[in-house]
Amino acid sequence: MRFKTKGNDDSSYAGRGDRSDDRSLEDVTPMSGEVPVTEFLPDEAAQESRLAGNDLRERVSKLETQMMAQYTAMAAYAQIAQNNTEAARAEARHDLDRSQSTVIGLVERVRRECADAIQGVQTRGGSGEGSDAARLAALEQRFDGLAAALERSIETQRALAEQVAALIEERMQRDGWLATDGSADSLSLH
C-alpha cells in the first residue's frame, strides 16, 4: 500500500516532472502529519461485499418498516375488536336488564291481578255488603217492590177505566144519546 504525504499529491507536482515518494508503512509516523491514501477504485470483492451489505441493510430496514406497520395494524384491529366486544357486552347487558324488568313487571301484574281476583271472590262469597248473596237479596227486594208497584198501577188503571166509563155513560144519558134503560154497549150506528 502506498502512502503519500500531505503536500505530495500529483497535482502539486504538475510540470515539475514525475516525482513519487515511495515509502513503506514503517517510514510514516503519526506525528509527521502524513495521511494514508487509499486506492481510487477498491477491488471487486470489497465492492461486492459493500453492495451486499448495503442491500441487506436496505432489506432489513424495509422489513422493519413492514413489521412495524403490521404490528400497528394488528394493534388497531385488536383495539377495534376489544371495543366491539365491550359494546356487544354492554348491549347484551342492557337487553338482559330490559328483559328482566319486563318479566318482573309482568309477574308483579299477574300477582296483583290474582290477589285482586282472590279478594273479589272472598268478598262476593262472604256475608258482607258486596257479597253475591247480599246483592241477590237486594235484587229480589227490588223485583218484589216493582211487582207490587205494577199491581198497584194496574189496579189504578182499572179504577180509572171504570170511572171514565161511568162518566161517559152519565154524559151520554144527559145528552140524550142513551135511553134510560140502555147502556153504552147497546149503541150502534145504523
Tens digit of each residue's pLDDT (9 = 90 or more) over 157-179? 999 999 999 998 888 888 877 65
Amino acid, single-letter form, for residue 62? K
Alpha-carbon distance of 56 to 53, in angstroms, equals 5
**How many residues are listed for the chain in this entry?**
190
Predicted pLDDT at 109: 94
36: phi then psi, degrees, rounded to nearest 5: -70, 145
pLDDT over 70 percentage in the chain = 66
Residue 41, classed as helix, strand or coil, is coil
Predicted pLDDT at 12: 45
Specify the DSSP class assigned to residue 177: S
Question: Which whole number is the average pLDDT over 51-70?
Answer: 95
User: pLDDT digits over 4-56, tens only?
Assistant: 444 444 444 444 444 445 544 444 455 555 555 566 666 888 888 999 999 99
The cell numbers describing 10, all together, are 500529483
The cell numbers describing 153, all together, are 198501577
Q: Domain residue spans in the chain?
A: 1-40, 42-125, 132-190
Q: Is 188 left (phi over 0), alpha (psi -120 to 50) or beta?
A: beta
Q: Residue 148 pLDDT more than 60?
A: yes
Predicted pLDDT at 8: 47
